[in-house]
Structure 1
Amino acid sequence: MRIQGHELGLFAIYDGHLGDSVPAYLQKHLFANILKEEEFWVDPFRAILKAYEKTDQAILSHSSDLGRGGSTAVTAILINGIRLWVANVGDSRAVLSRGDLAIQMTTDHEPNTERGSIENKGGFVSNMPGDVPRVNGQLAVSRAFGDKSLKSHLRSDPDIQDTNVDNSMDILVLASDGLWKVMTNQEAVDIARRFKDPQKAAKQLTAEAVKRDSKDDISCIVVRFRG
């Protein structure tokens, strides 16, 4: 798309829990809110940060309609084909291929990693029930949109990374945790690079995750940069 003379590529994965109302809301509103920020063209970092927080506040204020669920998110904004901005909350991940090497552009927000923040807010991390750490024994991520019942113990501010796009980069893989639980970053990049068509690459990654018996939701997007 073109906005104010700029070419923008907008890509995202939203992985919901307890229903799909919050991911649907994010799909409709998150990028719109980012681009509404007046400072986006001069300070994308600040604009993305503010838009994520405003969007989460809107989701919480509409919880009577959207329900009590929530969602992770990973977003990528490519500006004029030369500047890439990636942000995330939760454990959906973005991995960049640069010079054949996989570079993780996001941070997995896991309860054990951010235990201090959760406990400082009066929450706790427990492996019961189940076998993975969860906030208050319920949610397996420490940051998310929505989740009103847990919000006092969760964060919704994103980690944000940016980089210049150059000829050493060929693809970007965005995917939910269902892919990353059964595949390393390098494996995902190596598989995706076999395909010129990014849609075929994404389908192959999803099929491979299913073949490896992933038990979680699997959503995937592959972005191929121009040469």
Structure 2
Amino acid sequence: MGQLLSHPLTEKYLEYNDYKHVSQDQTSNITSADGNLVPHFYNCVGSMQGYRLTQEDAHLVLNEDKAIHVKFYDPFKNKMEQLKLSIFSLFDGHGGADCSNFLSGGHQHSAKKGIARWIAYSFERHQYGAYLDNDSDSLRPPNSKRAFRTLQGLITQVIKDAFMLQDQELYQHFANSSCGSTAVVAIIINNEFLYVANCGDSRCILSSKNLGIKTMSYDHKPQHIGELLRINDNGGTVSLGRVGGVLALSRAFSDFQFKRGVNYGKNKGHHQNAGIPPQEAQVTAEPDVLMHKIDFTKDEFLVLGCDGIWDIYSNKQLVQFIKYHLTLGVNLPGIITKLLDHGIAQANSNTGVGFDNMTAILVVLNNGGESLQDWYTKMKVRLERERGLQ
């Protein structure tokens, strides 16, 4: 009997990060009951080209041994702090894979290239201050260019700065190209605070105990009223749900044909109407940023996916799909594989659903000292109780 080979359409790239190779001095220094070191945030990435002629998705995972460590000035405490940034991000390119690959830092997933470089740069070199109290407009330090009343607001602006700096760098490479990319970036600071920055229609959701699902991003579509107003104010139009009848997104990196009036510093002379803030362009790279303090007693996992995933699954359906297979004892690579296979099986030539590239990242929110096997066991018991099976 001959061997059954996988169909080319369903060939998948899987990256399973269980961190068994990480040495003791590279982890979070959290030990389990038996004294072994246990990493945070096990994860698995799955990607499928599907019916598309090319694969335009890219991703970036920087965690544990690859996590970014930055020196961050906290104006509320008036001191420097060391922050650990675990980054999980997904980039859905269009017009080619050049832009999405650039954002991911290339195949080496480098922290010194792409969006990771600018995130670290913005955290370390921000010039923001804090209001000393509610009755004072004094800034700390005195030369701060802007003040914030909360640390969360300051960090949100720092992340937005990173996106705008990245877009400025992209202009140097793709000013005359029609390529672009969405981005959804989940940043976990010191294993405690989750910030999700989204630009485009890739998405991130958080699954919690008792069927809880928290939307950590919002899709940026041209027909949404806030997006439509910005596009029209900048002289653009929306037809057939697309900017200029072409682009089905209202926010993205690159796509500089929709950013003609933006001032890119030394390159501003290339534009006839230099000086438009990048946030006001028809298509902007400015992200929405949402923050969540992780509660390891309730929060279970994160899912990041490109729009090809969300064409198939609703937020609720995807979480139910993952939890169902956790109940059956399927591991992370198995779940991601089934998720992608089920997605392409739904391909419909009439609607176009299921014909896009598909990429998903599943991130485990395991507590300090909780091994991956411990998390599997906890989830299986919890889900069986929720289903009334115990």
Q: Report the counterpart of residue 221 of structure 1 in structure 2.
A: 361
Is the Cα–Cα contact under 8 Å of residues 93 and 179 in structure 2 kept in the other structure? Answer: yes
Is the Cα–Cα contact under 8 Å of residues 192 and 222 in structure 1 kept in the other structure? Answer: no
Is the Cα–Cα contact under 8 Å of residues 18 and 68 in structure 1 kept in the other structure? Answer: yes
1:136 and 2:244 correspond: yes
TM-score under structure 2 length normalisation: 0.54
Q: Report the counterpart of residue 101 of structure 1 in structure 2.
A: 212
In structure 1, C-alpha distance between the alignment counterparts of 2:360 and 2:182, rounded to whole Å:
14
Shift of 1:6: 4.2
Matches within 5 A, 1:32-181: 32-37=117-122, 38=124, 43-63=154-174, 67-99=177-209, 100-113=211-224, 114-127=227-240, 133-152=241-260, 153-166=282-295, 167-181=297-311
Q: Report the counterpart of residue 15 of structure 1 in structure 2.
A: 92
In structure 1, C-alpha distance between the alignment counterparts of 2:188 and 2:342, rounded to whole Å:
27
Is the Cα–Cα contact under 8 Å of residues 72 and 144 in structure 1 kept in the other structure? Answer: yes
Percent identical among aligned pairs is 31
Is the Cα–Cα contact under 8 Å of residues 201 and 222 in structure 1 kept in the other structure? Answer: no
Tell me the secondary structure at the aligned position of residue 286 of structure 2: coil
Deviations 1:183-224 (A, max 9, x none): 110111122233363333333222221122112221110001
Is the Cα–Cα contact under 8 Å of residues 198 and 222 in structure 1 kept in the other structure? Answer: yes
In structure 2, C-alpha distance between the alignment counterparts of 1:126 and 1:211, rounded to whole Å:
31
Is the Cα–Cα contact under 8 Å of residues 68 and 120 in structure 2 kept in the other structure? Answer: no
Shift of 1:111: 0.7
In structure 1, C-alpha distance between the alignment counterparts of 2:236 and 2:332, rounded to whole Å:
41
Shift of 1:179: 0.8
CA 1:200/1:77 → structure 2, altered by over 3 Å: closer, same or farther? farther
1:186 and 2:326 correspond: no
Shift of 1:96: 0.6
Tell me the secondary structure at the aligned position of residue 318 of structure 2: helix
TM-score under structure 1 length normalisation: 0.90
Shift of 1:21: 0.6
4+ residue stretches of structure 1 with deviation over 6 A? Answer: none
In structure 2, C-alpha distance between the alignment counterparts of 1:8 and 1:199, rounded to whole Å:
24
Q: Could you list the runs of 5+ residues in structure 1 that have no partner in the other structure?
A: 128-132
Shift of 1:103: 1.5
Shift of 1:79: 1.8
Paired amino acid for 1:78: I
Q: Report the counterpart of residue 341 of structure 2 in structure 1.
A: 207
In structure 2, C-alpha distance between the alignment counterparts of 1:50 and 1:90, rounded to whole Å:
17
1:3 to 58, 69, 88: 69
Paired amino acid for 2:247: L
In structure 2, C-alpha distance between the alignment counterparts of 1:210 and 1:138, rounded to whole Å:
25
Q: Report the counterpart of residue 138 of structure 2 in structure 1.
A: none
Deviations 1:25-82 (A, max 9, x none): 1011101210112267x64212210000010111122216x83200000000112221
Matched pairs, number: 220
In structure 2, C-alpha distance between the alignment counterparts of 1:177 and 1:119, rounded to whole Å:
25
Q: Could you list the runs of 5+ residues in structure 2 that have no partner in the other structure?
A: 1-66, 71-81, 106-113, 127-150, 261-281, 348-353, 368-390
Q: Report the counterpart of residue 130 of structure 1 in structure 2.
A: none
Is the Cα–Cα contact under 8 Å of residues 21 and 67 in structure 1 kept in the other structure? Answer: no
